[in-house]
Amino acid sequence: MEMGAAAVLVNTSVATAGDPALIAEAYALAIRAGRLAFLSKLRAPQERPRPPPSDRFFCMNSEAISISEIKNLLADDTRAGLEDLARQASLLTRQYFGRTISLYTPLYLSNYCSSSCTYCGFSKSNRITRMKLTVEQMREEMKRIAATGIENILLLTGESYKATPLSYLLDAVTAAKSYFPNISLEVHPMETAQYRELFSTASTE
C-alpha cells in the first residue's frame, strides 16, 4: 500500500488464525498505515542515489571484507540495492556450495547468549532459564536422534564464548562423530585457528 497498490488479497492467515476477526482487523490497520504513508508522498526508496554494483561488490570476492567495505555494501538500502546484494550473495553461495539442499536435525547445546536479537528466544534480555547440556546429555540426545536414521546433525549454541568455549565445542564434536557422518556447527564467532581445531577434531578417527 505504501508503494501505491490499490488492494490486497489475504486468505490463509485470516482463515487459519485462532481469531479471524482480530487478524483481519490487524491487516486493516496495516493497510491503512501503508496507504497513509503513500498519500504522505514519502520519498520512494528507489529515488535515493546508490553506488554502482561493480564498486560495491568487488570486495565480496576477496578473502576478507573490511568493516568499511561492509558499511559500503549495506549503505544502499533501496529495494534495487538490496536486490543487487541478494543476487550477489546468491551467486557466491552457488559458487561455494553448488545447488545443494542439506537436511539435518538441529541439536541445541546451550541457550546462553550475550546478544539481544529481538526475534530470538535466546536473547540475553529474555528472562528464561539458561542451561547447557553436559556431555552425557549430549550423547543421550545424539543416540536418540541417530536411532531415527538421521545422519546430519547441526550443533547450535547462542553467542557466548564464556558459556560454551572451544573446549566445550570440541567435546560436543567428539561426541557427535561417534553417531553422525556429517556434523555442522552454528556457534559464536571464533578465530580461524579455533575453527581449524574443530575441523581437525571432527575429521580425525
Query: Where do contacts with ligand SF4 occur on this chain (CB under 6 A)?
Result: 113, 115, 117, 120, 122-123, 158-159
Query: In angstroms, rounded to a whole number, what is the distance separating the alpha carbons of residues 160 and 171?
Result: 16
Residue with smaller CB distance to ligand SF4, 146 or 190: 190
What's the closest the beta carbon of residue 96 comes to ligand SF4, in angstroms? 22
What's the closest the beta carbon of residue 92 comes to ligand SF4, in angstroms? 22
Query: In angstroms, rounded to a whole number, what is the distance separating the alpha carbons of residues 122 and 96?
Result: 30
Residue with smaller CB distance to ligand SF4, 24 or 107: 107
Beta bridge partners of 105: 153
What's the closest the beta carbon of residue 170 comes to ligand SF4, in angstroms? 20
Residue with smaller CB distance to ligand SF4, 80 or 128: 128
What's the closest the beta carbon of residue 77 comes to ligand SF4, in angstroms? 21
Residue with smaller CB distance to ligand SF4, 113 or 153: 113
Residue with smaller CB distance to ligand SF4, 115 or 178: 115
Residues with Cβ < 8 Å from 180, sequence gap 6 or more?
Answer: 142, 146, 150, 151, 152, 153
What's the closest the beta carbon of residue 168 comes to ligand SF4, in angstroms? 16
8 A C-beta contact, residue 186 and residue 155: yes
Q: How many angstroms separate the Cα of 153 from the Cα of each of 29, 142, 158?
A: 43, 8, 17
Sheet of strand 182-186: strand arrangement? 105-108, 152-156, 182-186
Residues with Cβ < 8 Å from 20, sequence gap 6 or more?
Answer: 14
8 A C-beta contact, residue 125 and residue 116: yes
